[in-house]
Amino acid sequence: MGQIGRAVTLAVGLAGGMLFSQAPEFAQQYRQRIGGAIDELRIIVDDFTKQAANHHLDRQQALEVYARSTDDFLRDRGLSMRGTLERYERLVTQQSDLGVAAPIARPFILMRNADEGILANTWRDFVPGVPVSFAGFVWAAIGLVGGWIVAVLFGAGAKRAVRWRPSY
């Protein structure tokens, strides 16, 4: 591999390292957004639970009242509330999973079951962080190695393409 090839390989490796080093920071910003979403959803869930209890119902019974209604609006409202309760439970579970996971593993939890809305908003407002943590260093190393491998493979393919000349 020539000097240009080595320089390109190093540059792609460094770019991969910089990109992957942001994974823990992205997971942290996502985790903060989950906390805010849970806080807001908790207000709705607690209010629904309180209203149901005022009528001697638990959440499931209150949802069944909505489902049995002959009014389309109330049935749809019940479906909406059921979705809100399910999302709240999913986010609480994910928050717990993120809380017990090692910082280096948190990006994998996001890849497994991220909330689409929170993920999109986190990406929209993402501010890169400096990888001063161990997790940031490990992800930077993963990206560096991955970028280096891609550059080497690309370089090997380019060399073959240049060397290969059809004979006429």
pLDDT in tens, 80-118: 999 999 999 999 999 999 999 999 999 999 888 899 999
Comparison of pLDDT for 75 and 153, the residue scoring more? 75
The pLDDT, as a whole number, for residue 148 is 85
> pLDDT class for 167, splitting at 50, 70, 90?
low
Q: How confident is the model at residue 168 (pLDDT cuts 50, 70, 90)?
A: low
CB-CB neighbours of 163 under 10 Å: 7
Residue 69 tokens, joined: 């209604």
Q: Which of 30-34, 51-55, 143-147 has the lowest mean pLDDT?
A: 143-147
65/82 Cα distance (integer angstroms): 12
Alpha-carbon gap, residue 6 to 86, rounded angstroms: 52
Measured distance CA(118)–CA(36) in Å, rounded: 10
